[in-house]
């Protein structure tokens, strides 16, 4: 108990020091920031609805990039994560697979977008590939850990029927992990829609480019319209994933 209190106090002290170094105790600066936030909010109102067609088209491109990128990344991450499952494949194979996933995960999505802009030029193709690469890194790790947690008794029972490794993946590992596979995929899609909205900043297509233009030309009322549109898309996605979870996931025994 005393040790727990000591650890909590230590964390609190460390947090205070870090916050101080980051400027969180600079009252003048924070007050100025609050004033600026008020001005910015005022300048955003009312949102300018005249940009709806342009913003809507750009946002649709972002949704397309996110959907295609997420699905492509998902398709690559599945075999990679199966190869990274230690109780199905030997240590050299699973370690190599995990190393590849870790390498991909090291690069943030914005940097992937820049790299693909260099490789395939400006536009949504670069953005889609960037989203796909980031998705591979993330999902391959999550899925490999998920597959490793498959109940060994089920694996033993089905292996005992003479099933091969491929059979085990198809009929045990994937169905047993179906819930988490779907949940993580939906989470990734939601995340990618938010993340892809800034890829246009580096020329990788989507609504980010429009946002960047409105920010640079100080057209905050137009920016507000774009942000509201993104909010609507995110809310629709939340509703859609909640419906999919209800429709497809395991439910407790009735």
Q: Tell the smallest beta-carbon distance from residue 155 to another protein (Å).
A: 8
Name which of 167 and 221 has its Cβ closer to another protein: 167
Q: How far is CA 119 from its chain centroid? A: 23
Q: Tell the smallest beta-carbon distance from residue 152 to another protein (Å).
A: 9
Tell me how crowded residue 195 is: count the other CB atoms within 10 A of its CB: 23
The closest of 117, 135, 139 to 200, measured between CA atoms, is 117
Q: Tell the smallest beta-carbon distance from residue 77 to another protein (Å).
A: 19
**Contact positions toward another protein, by CB under 8 A?**
151, 153-164, 166-167, 170-172, 175-176, 178-179, 250, 253-254
Name which of 3 and 251 has its Cβ closer to another protein: 251
> Could you give the CA distance from residue 12 to residue 84 in angstroms, rounded to a whole number?
39
Name which of 48 and 176 has its Cβ closer to another protein: 176
Name which of 43 and 151 has its Cβ closer to another protein: 151
How far lies 124's CA from each of 54, 61, 77, 134, 194, in Å? 16, 7, 21, 15, 15
91 CB contacts (<8 Å, ≥6 apart)?
none
Q: Tell the smallest beta-carbon distance from residue 159 to another protein (Å).
A: 7
The closest of 188, 73, 202, 66 to 128, measured between CA atoms, is 66
Name which of 93 and 158 has its Cβ closer to another protein: 158
Assign 63 to helix, strand or coil. helix
Q: Tell the smallest beta-carbon distance from residue 33 to another protein (Å).
A: 51
């Amino acid at each position: 108990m005393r040790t727990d209190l000591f650890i909590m106090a230590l964390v609190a002290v460390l947090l205070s020091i870090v916050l101080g170094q980051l400027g969180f105790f600079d009252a003048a600066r924070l007050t100025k920031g609050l004033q600026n936030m008020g001005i910015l909010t005022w300048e955003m109102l009312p949102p300018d609805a005249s940009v709806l067609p342009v913003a809507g088209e750009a946002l649709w491109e972002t949704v397309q990039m996110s959907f295609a990128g997420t699905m492509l990344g998902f398709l690559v991450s599945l075999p990679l994560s199966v190869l990274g499952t230690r109780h199905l494949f030997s240590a050299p194979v699973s370690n190599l697979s995990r190393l590849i996933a870790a390498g991909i995960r090291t690069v943030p999505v914005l940097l992937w977008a820049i790299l693909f802009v260099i490789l395939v030029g400006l536009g949504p193709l670069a953005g889609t590939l960037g989203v796909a690469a980031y998705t591979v890194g993330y999902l391959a790790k999550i899925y490999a850990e998920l597959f490793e947690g498959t109940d060994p008794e089920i694996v033993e029972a089905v292996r005992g029927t003479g099933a091969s490794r491929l059979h085990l993946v198809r009929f045990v590992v994937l169905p047993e992990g179906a819930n988490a596979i779907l949940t993580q995929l939906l989470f990734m899609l939601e995340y990618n829609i938010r993340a892809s909205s800034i890829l246009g900043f580096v020329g990788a297509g989507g609504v980010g480019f429009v946002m960047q233009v409105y920010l640079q030309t100080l057209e905050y009322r137009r920016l507000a319209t774009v942000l509201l549109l993104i909010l609507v898309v995110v809310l629709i996605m939340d509703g859609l994933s909640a419906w999919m979870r209800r429709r497809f996931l395991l439910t407790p025994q009735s």
